[in-house]
Amino acid sequence: MKILIASDHAGLELKTHIKNLLAQKQISVEDLGPQNTDSVDYPDFAQRLCEKMPKVSSSQQPEILGILVCGSGQGMAMKANKYSYIRAALCWDLISTQLAREHNNANILCLGGRLLPNGLALEMVERFLTTQFLGGRHEKRVLKISQ
């Protein structure tokens, strides 16, 4: 599994914690920026990540997942979901994260760096990476998202 990760200036600190967690788990991570807290525009970094995501069927288990972090997570999710092959989920707790993978086959996790405690956010990342899409009755619904 490979993870693409990006943030804006408000999400940089949480992004760094996430990268450290993934390094401990020996998961391949590609950091698409930024590298400092200078003010940047979050849509630019969401676009950078989305354009590197594989365009796979919405029913397939993705081999590459994305993580986007900004102040609220909302702006990143809005930009990412402009792409038909992206299912970016703005999550706020463990159950929203789990359901985003199980029911929606989300391929990008969006997090609010200003809203989530680091510990919870790291648990959410782990849940996102270890939860599988259930398929079945959810598959036809997920297909409708991309249409």
List, by residue number, the catalytic residues.
Answer: 103
Which residues are registered as beta bridge partners of 31? 5
Of 41, 4, 50, 14, nearest to 122 (Cα)? Answer: 14
Distance CA 130, CA 147 (A): 27
Residues 87, 101: Cα–Cα separation, whole Å: 10
Q: Which helix (H) or strand (E) holds 29?
A: strand 28-31
What does the block give as tokens for 59?
């029913």
Q: How many residues does the chain have?
A: 147
Please state the φ and ψ torsions of residue 73, each to the nearest 5 degrees. Answer: 85, -20
φ, ψ dihedrals at 133, nearest 5°: -65, 135
